[in-house]
Structure 1
Amino acid sequence: MRFCSLFSGSSGNCNYIGTENTSILVDAGLSGKRIQGEMAKIEADPKSIDGIFVTHEHSDHIQGVGVLSRRFDLPVYASKKTWDAMICKLGKIKEENIRYIEADKAVNIKDLSITPFNISHDAVEPFGFNITDGRKKISLLTDTGCINSYIRDRVLDFDLLLLETNHDVELLKVGSYPWSLKRRVMGEYGHLSNETAGEFLIDVMKGEGECVYLGHLSQENNFPELAKRTVSNILTENKIELNREIILEMTHRDRCSSIKVL
């Protein structure tokens, strides 16, 4: 499998996963034009996409979904509740391209199996995703305000994990957000902090050289160097050897990440 985060952040999210036979997008939260531009940079043909999987209905995850579906006749996979919440924002979608998915029920597309799982966010039915080709496992976990045993169990045994490091708690507290928004971000239906993400990795990593992409950074309450340093410090404090037991990579809000081939 090949993974690339095309965009990740509070201004838009889109992830590409592909094999020789199959390719999907998870979310399409920027314009269709920008997504196609980043796909071209990694030599991924949008005409070859087999479907778009949607985590939840917020605009930074669905902005380009309708355009791409119409332009390339793509099926769109989301929960029934998410479809009900986002259909009015997407424009006209062919009936046959409206596909419903349920938590913990796999969708098989050629040589990929995609399984959604429930997460904790202020959306109607937000999902994380596990994607496997039967050999390796990619887990996508962003836009969750907390981690519980259910989420932990779904992410275990990942080979690649896209993990939210949305904010630094102290930056958020002293920042310009109104207190109601600060409470929302820090709450159980908000977003993971750098510290919580690092502690979560201690609990779920195997230490076999798996790859973790840090993503969905807040533009105001975080920055890449701080997110990576915070998570790295937590790992090293727990005697975990970086670049051997675990590899940390960064996503970017305005361009694609490095490409990881599993």
Structure 2
Amino acid sequence: MSLQFSVLASGSTGNAIYVQTEKARLLVDAGLSMKTIKKLFLDAGCCGLEELDGILITHEHSDHIKGLGALARKYKLPVYANDKTWSAMNANIGTVDDAQKFTFEMESVRTFGDLEVESFGVSHDAAEPMFYVFHHEGKKLTLMTDTGYVSDRMKGITKHSDAYVMESNHDINMLMMGRYPWSIKRRILSDHGHISNEDCGFALADLIGEQTKRIYLAHLSKDNNMKDIAYLSVKQTLESKGVAVGEQVSLYHTDASEPTELIRL
């Protein structure tokens, strides 16, 4: 079995991504109810929840950990997060047995069966947010959302991936004209907020390599973005940088309530 994944849900209302190989089955974040995550697993054709080797947490915001405690308790699953994230989220996930709690520090690598997982820091208003790169038999999958910008260091770790699940959070005009108070708009636009459609495209232009084939636009704002706007904005930005969308790489939507198919790299 090659490296496979499904973006089960992505958006401001909840996030969860499934990754598997022949010998590893992992869930990244659990930002929806246990009932919803179970349904998404079935809809996407993933393994049974009891077959998971662990849950990797990116940061403590509720749209990433809402169902974590319930899942961990019911299925006795190992949970991996860095120390600062553990401290920040402990009070919000209920009682989880200490034997199920594992530390996965930023900018380190852990091996799960035949899958190597590399963590890297992002810029977001959380205790110590980090995302992951998955390596398996020469294939590379990068997950990167919830960041206010993409630094050169982040680019160095994630460049030339076969596939990206990449934040394309907001359209700047929709955000500025929308109903959010200025304090929230300022937070979203800050270096510790979320990247816009246009900035997603500029970052991807620096990341794409010859083997990059798939880009999944993720964590779209319910109020400040639309799938078609995100797609067109990222496409236009990439093409302005000489990337042939539809020929060199393909762009795909993700959804807040429906999973992608189980994608094979």
Q: TM-score band, normalised by the shorter chain?
A: over 0.9
Cα deviation for residue 20 of structure 1 reads: 2.1
- 1:222 lines up with 2:196 in the alignment: no
* Conserved 8 A contact 2:160-2:212: no
State the AA in 2 paired with 1:165: S
Residues in 1 aligned to 2:94 and 2:85: alpha-carbon distance in whole angstroms: 15
State the AA in 2 paired with 1:206: G
Q: 2:71 aligns with which of 63, 68, 73?
A: 68
State the AA in 2 paired with 1:71: K
Residues in 2 aligned to 1:207 and 1:236: alpha-carbon distance in whole angstroms: 16
Residues in 2 aligned to 1:46 and 1:132: alpha-carbon distance in whole angstroms: 22
Residues in 2 aligned to 1:4 and 1:159: alpha-carbon distance in whole angstroms: 15
State the AA in 2 paired with 1:34: T
State the AA in 2 paired with 1:15: I
Distance change (3 Å), C-alpha of 1:85 and 1:214:
same
Per-residue CA deviations over 1:98-133 (Å, capped at 9, x if unaligned) read 001111211111111111101000000000111111
Q: What TM-score results when the alignment is normalised by the length of structure 1?
A: 0.97
How do 1:63-212 and structure 2 match up within 5 A?
Answer: 63-212=66-215
Residues in 2 aligned to 1:208 and 1:114: alpha-carbon distance in whole angstroms: 19
Instruction: State the partner residue of 1:15.
Output: 17
Residues in 1 aligned to 2:160 and 2:196: alpha-carbon distance in whole angstroms: 22
* Conserved 8 A contact 1:208-1:246: no
State the AA in 1 paired with 2:220: L
Cα deviation for residue 244 of structure 1 reads: 2.3
Residues in 2 aligned to 1:107 and 1:134: alpha-carbon distance in whole angstroms: 15
State the AA in 2 paired with 1:205: I
- 1:40 lines up with 2:42 in the alignment: yes
Describe the SS at the equivalent of 1:138: strand
- 1:49 lines up with 2:59 in the alignment: no
Describe the SS at the equivalent of 2:245: coil
* Conserved 8 A contact 1:208-1:245: no
Number of positions where the alignment pairs a residue of Structure 1 with one of Structure 2: 262
Query: In percent, how many aligned pairs have the same letter?
Result: 37
Residues in 2 aligned to 1:230 and 1:94: alpha-carbon distance in whole angstroms: 45
Instruction: State the partner residue of 1:256.
Output: 259
Q: What TM-score results when the alignment is normalised by the length of structure 2?
A: 0.96
Describe the SS at the equivalent of 2:247: coil
* Conserved 8 A contact 1:209-1:244: no
Describe the SS at the equivalent of 1:117: strand
CA RMSD of aligned residues (A): 1.0
Distance change (3 Å), C-alpha of 1:93 and 1:206:
same
Instruction: State the partner residue of 2:29.
Output: 27
* Conserved 8 A contact 1:117-1:151: yes
Residues in 2 aligned to 1:137 and 1:92: alpha-carbon distance in whole angstroms: 35
Gaps of 5+ in 2: none
Cα deviation for residue 240 of structure 1 reads: 2.0
Residues in 1 aligned to 2:244 and 2:262: alpha-carbon distance in whole angstroms: 22
Describe the SS at the equivalent of 1:3: strand
Cα deviation for residue 257 of structure 1 reads: 1.6
Residues in 1 aligned to 2:43 and 2:107: alpha-carbon distance in whole angstroms: 33
